[in-house]
Amino acid sequence: MQKKAVILFSGGLDSTTCIALAQERGFECFALSLDYGGRQQVELTKAKQLTQQLGIAHKIIPVGLNLIGGSALTDNEIAVHDFKESQAIPNTYVPARNTVFLSIALGWAEVLGAYDIFIGANILDYSGYPDCRPEYLEAFEKLADLATRAGMEGKHFKVHAPLLKLNKAEIIREGIRLGIDYSQTMTCYRPDQDGKACGNCDSCTFRKKGFEEAGIQDPTHYF
Amino acid sequence: MQKKAVILFSGGLDSTTCIALAQERGFECFALSLDYGGRQQVELTKAKQLTQQLGIAHKIIPVGLNLIGGSALTDNEIAVHDFKESQAIPNTYVPARNTVFLSIALGWAEVLGAYDIFIGANILDYSGYPDCRPEYLEAFEKLADLATRAGMEGKHFKVHAPLLKLNKAEIIREGIRLGIDYSQTMTCYRPDQDGKACGNCDSCTFRKKGFEEAGIQDPTHYF
């Protein structure tokens, strides 16, 4: 029987590449998206379409992080800024986002009998988010075994972060090799109603630069 | 300024006692409840009333764990059974429940500038849930520092489990000492529409036994 994996899936470039890599490693993929209110309704629609094209299972789980706020991605009162070269963590940081995301993935994994979770975290072209660091991911893996009945019964959960040490250009090359149509993925933090990208937020900036460096024409629809 | 704490709050006996203990330790309390669908709408109404009586802040965050299922508490198709003496984890175990709960608490704590989280977990009169064990709670505490901007900046999150090694009778005595009116708390896994308790599920059984052992009259409304 094919092994199952839960993939944290935003519909963006990184997590779509993650699905393709998990499939290449032989996993049956179960994509998980969170609907944490705020700006990403267009992103979720795109994510749903993408999983349908890929023919994989997909769940969108509502989590009211908009009621907590504290981030430009969950609180519509906070503006997403254009990219600026800086060491500071930008206001698109969502407090405890990956911990919430991974914990719901863990719950679903346990119900499915899956012991592999894929996350598209990477430490090179990321925005300094604490919950993308390898030491964080290792700590979550330890927690997962202690947190679950499956772990008590001797199962070991593995958190895979296959993009962790790749830069955006390398991620894109991997995706192209695996046949991903990146025009269908959406990365932008502030897309328009039609899902077109702004081209200037952190996320768009890293993505654009990635296509340039990879020497691959950027198929993104910008507004 | 008074230090803030986020309290995981179900409206039940344990988490209400937790609030009183956190207040005794000088914390300004922010109660967090999750609405994970399933059976606990009456519980949430009671929880809201209780926090209003206690005069503390309260958030109910929706988290669609009912879409994941796998537990009698989140899937209405799975029945809650009467208490049975057994070593097995009962079907009221919600996969990754405390991890989801703690991670959302962590997000709220970071937004509030709170570094203390209280959870009513205990290892004596609990149902064998993995995510109530001290080693689990310690692992979460480590994760919290790695997961957050606050942790990166040198803050340390503390997970308090003041009930961890108390039995139900001891918890009840603590609560009575602190003036809790336990008739207002709701513990039952399958209450009726009016919030009356069944008296026979695991949760009711531990609670009943606790009042007996404490020699305190059980004020619970049973149906």
CB-based burial of residue A165 (10 Å sphere; 0-12 exposed, 13-18 middle, 19+ buried)?
exposed
pTM: 0.92
Interface residue A200 vs chain B (CB under 8 A): no
CA atoms within 13 A on the CB side of A34: 25
Instruction: Walk along chain B (223 residues) and give the pLDDT tens digit of each residue.
Output: 899 999 999 999 999 999 999 999 999 999 999 998 766 788 898 899 999 999 999 999 999 998 988 787 777 777 877 877 776 777 878 889 999 999 999 999 999 999 999 999 988 756 688 999 999 999 999 999 999 999 999 999 999 999 999 999 999 999 999 999 999 998 888 888 888 999 998 889 989 999 999 999 999 999 8
Domain ranges of chain A: 4-214
Q: Which residues of A touch B147 (CB under 8 A)?
A: 96, 98-99, 130-131, 136, 139
* Closest alpha carbon within chain B to A75: B111
What is this model's ipTM? 0.91
Q: Is A111 on the interface with B (CB under 8 A)?
A: yes
Minimal C-alpha gap between A36 and chain B (Å)? 9
Q: By the CB < 8 Å criterion, does B89 face chain A?
A: yes
Query: What CATH number does the domain located at B4-214 have?
Result: 3.40.50.620
Which residue type is seen at B165? K
> What are residue B6's DSSP bridge partners?
B30, B117
Q: How far apart are CA B106 and CA A95, in angstroms?
A: 8
d(CA A32, CA A143): 20
Nearest CA-CA distance, residue B221 and chain A, Å: 32
Contacts of A68 in chain B (CB under 8 A): 59, 61, 104, 107-108, 111
Lookup: tokens for B82: 């009467």
Cβ of residue A84 closer than 8 Å to a chain B Cβ: no
